[in-house]
Each structure stands twice: as C-alpha cells, then as structure tokens.
Amino acid sequence: VSVPPGPSCIFCRIVAGTADASFVYEDDDLVAFMDINPVTRGHLLVVPRAHLPGLADVPPQVGGRMFVVGRELAAALRAGPMTTQGINLFLADGAAAMQSVFHAHLHVIPRFRGDGFRFVRDHWSGSPDRTELEADAAAVRAALGGAEA
Ligand code: 5GP
Ligand code: ZN
C-alpha cells in the first residue's frame, strides 16, 4: 500500500497544485481542504505538504501542528454557517484502521444530530478485568520505552 511521493499520490498532487482541491488553510507545513467525498457537509482534511505515509512518519512538530490547525478549523466550523453541533477529529493509520490515502491526514468532521455517521462494532472483545488491563498497560509502557514525548 506504500505509495511514493509525487504524481501517484493524490494528496501530493493537490499540494503541488496539479490536482484540484477547495482549500481552507495553508501554511509552510500544512494545507487543509474540503474532502471530496464528505461524511457530512463541511468535512475537511488537514494534510502535511510533505509525503508522510503513516502516523509514525509524521514528525512530532508537524503532528502537533496538525492538531492545532484541526482545532482551529473545528472552531471555524462551529462558528460558521453550517450549524455544526459537534466535531470528530479522526486519523486513520494503516489499512486496518481504514486508511485509504497513504499520505497522512487528519479528518475534521462536523457532526449534526441524526447525521447517521456511526462507528459500528460487529463484536465486542469482552470486558477485561483490572488484571488484564494492568497487564496490557505494562506491555504498552514497555513498548513506549524512552519514547515518551
Ligand atoms: P482515509 O480513509 O485515508 O482516512 O481518508 C481518505 C479521505 O480522502 C477520504 O475521506 C476521501 O474522500 C478523501 N479523498 C480521496 N481522494 C480525494 C481527492 O482527490 N480530493 C479530496 N479533496 N479528497 C479526497
Ligand atoms: Zn503524498
């Protein structure tokens, strides 16, 4: 699923100006534009100019800026004409997480009561007890190692 930077990546084409998009924000590191197939009206994407395929490829400073810009856009959607009642920030990292464009991006999705957008879960992995939660927490802490921000 890995796509090189350049013409084979739709978001690289948008950043380069060789594919159309309706922009709402641009700075040195990021652009934001309307999603072409919005989940709800006003659905935006915050996209690094650099071709960074996955979350792990996004440098902390750029990732932090993605969140800052996403937050500003959320406020604009709430203040704007679309009567936004709520916002979901969503980032899909990996095909299993529903990433379809392998150039990292943060979704800013305006929400309206009854808009029909839902996360559906077919089965539930159970109700872990505290022992299981502690074991999983220990495993994550070990994997985190010295990587804390
Ligand atoms: P993902 O599932 O990878 O998180 O989401 C990719 C998003 O990119 C989808 O919401 C899809 O509608 C959007 N998208 C795909 N191609 C284009 C395009 O050419 N232009 C725009 N504006 N959005 C796109
Ligand atoms: Zn790209």
- Return the pLDDT at 7: 83
- Rounded distance from Cα 82 to ligand 1 centre (Å): 21
- Return the pLDDT at 125: 74
Look up 105 and say whether it is catalytic. Answer: yes
User: Whole-model pTM?
Assistant: 0.93
Q: What is the mean pLDDT of the chain?
A: 94
The model's confidence at residue 119, banded by pLDDT at 50, 70 and 90, is confident
- Pocket lining: 89 vs ligand 1, CB cutoff 6 Å: no
Residue from 20, 24, 33, 100 to probe ligand 1 pocket by mutation (most atoms less than 8 Å from CB): 100
Contact indicator for 81, 75 with CB cutoff of 8 Å: no
Listed in sequence order, the DSSP H helices in 6-145 are 10-16, 60-79, 130-144
Contact indicator for 50, 43 with CB cutoff of 8 Å: no
Task: Please name which ligand lies nearest the alpha carbon of 14.
Answer: 1
- Return the pLDDT at 4: 79
CA quadruple 5, 6, 8, 11: dihedral, nearest 10: 80
